Structure 1
Amino acid sequence: MTNVGPELHRSTETPSNDSPALASGLPVPAAFTKASPSKRKSNFLSVAVTALVVPGIFATMALPAYAFQPVQDTTAADATVALQALKESDAQTVTVAAAAASVAATRDGFSATTHEEIVAEQARAAAAAAYAAYSGPSIGDLLANPPYPNFDLAQVAAVAQQYQGVPYVYGGNTPAGFDCSGFVSFVYAQFGIALPHSVSGIAAMGTPIATEAALPGDIVTMSGHNGIYLGGGMFIDAPSEGRVVEIRPIYTSDYYIVRIGI
């Protein structure tokens, strides 16, 4: 009889409810059917942690980008809106304190320079430039050889008007520049009459006459100043620094007239 090996023995034990059997009827090893208490606890904790962490990760990844932006400061925008509203609501309203000073509005006065005035000013400027280059006879030369040997008041007035536009120069007694008494002396020298370069000296040489009896060519005298009378309350003189010989009204009532040469 041939020995074919030890006979396999089938377990005759009835498996318990805790030991499930294989399809062959053999019992399932305990390692595959029951876990130790510590193992079950560890598995439970793993499942709990997974249940908490994984959703958190997905929730974080799913947050929109704006969730990470800080809250915007709208103070400036709000102020702009409020200012615009104020402009629109009070656009025609101005609040003025009761104590504010009241100022009366006035219209500025002005005048336009005419073409004639411009031309006259240009002529005066040209004359002043020409007189500044004067190199003619002096008072001494005129007295030695007067161009008008026959004295005539009307002629004196006419000669005097030839020097309109000569600039005022303190101490001047030629057409390069006159002061008041230098002008009167230069005009009279052309008639052979020597006068001092002095307002008071010229007045002392003349004979005072009544205003109504005055003739063009007489000498107008006031405090510190003189000129040549032209009639009708007008005279010609060398006024002051910055001005020129000109015809103008006698500007004061405190004057008198003297006559020299007759």
Structure 2
Amino acid sequence: MTTPVLPPEGGGSAAQRADSAEFPTRSSVRRAEAAAAAAASGRRGSASSVPAARRVLRSELVARRAAEHHASTTAAAVPATRSRLSVRRSVVSVTVMTVTAGLFGTVALPAFALDQDDPATSEAAAAAAVTDARVAGGQTLAVDAAVTGVDATRADWSATSQATLDAAAAAAAQALAAQQQAAQASAAAAASSSASSSASSAGTGSGSSRSMATEAIASSGSTGQAAVYQAALQYVGTPYVFGGATPAGFDCSGFVMYVYAKFGVSLPHSVGSQAALGTTISASEARPGDVVVFNDGSHDGFYAGNGMILDAPKPGGYVSVRPLWSSAVHYVRYAV
């Protein structure tokens, strides 16, 4: 059922009447109810529809007021929500700016503190500071004026070519061969002289027993020592090895011990003990193959004649024939 809405009491303008149409007053509601009742009674002839019309109008009025209240409440809530959102955004913006400024200050300010104008100038200043520190902690050297006035020239040094070295090695080999030949000739001459001396001594039958023993040693040693020397020459070039007594490597007393063992003479591996077991002879009596012993007991080797020695020299050296470099020696002979 549609209920007509009447204009407000006392007439009024068209705008007021339009507002009243949208927002009914109590008086308009009453008039509308009366009109509805009259119309209903005229059409149906009954007053039972009046309460129903009132209920409809009241429900419409309540609905309109609820809508107005909801609209006003929503309109008030929207600015409040927007205000809270704007506050949150402001707080976030301030926080981000603060953190960014802190990071920038942490990274950039040390660089600005070094030199805000020119990095090259900063590096130069740092290098200068290092140089100053070195100079301050360094040492000073004073050179006498007499020294600085002396002319410095390059010494007359030159490199030796491989051809020169090869030639020197060949000359050394030839010299060694010549020494060996001379030693052999000397040993042969000594053996011949000793044989003649032995025959003469036997023919005369004179002399004491000691001289006869010495001559016997000399006679047997002349030929025997030559054989010992020839045997020792076979090991020229053997490397020196401390404690060595084999062809793989010799030391001085090990070399003497090894060679004499081939002729049935057992010697200890010691310079002092070897000297004590032999017969000491004079330098004039010494023949190639006799043993040269240094007086301090530091070294020994085979006498090679003509002031030479055949020995195992020292670490890094080789068995070789070389000049005897000291006169503080004595000679020992063994009966072979």
Greater RCO (CA < 8 Å, at least 6 residues apart)? 1
**Band the TM-score falls in, shorter-chain normalisation:** 0.3 to 0.5
**Rg larger in 1 or in 2?**
2
TM-score by length of 2: 0.38
Task: Give the alignment's TM-score, normalised by structure 1.
Answer: 0.48
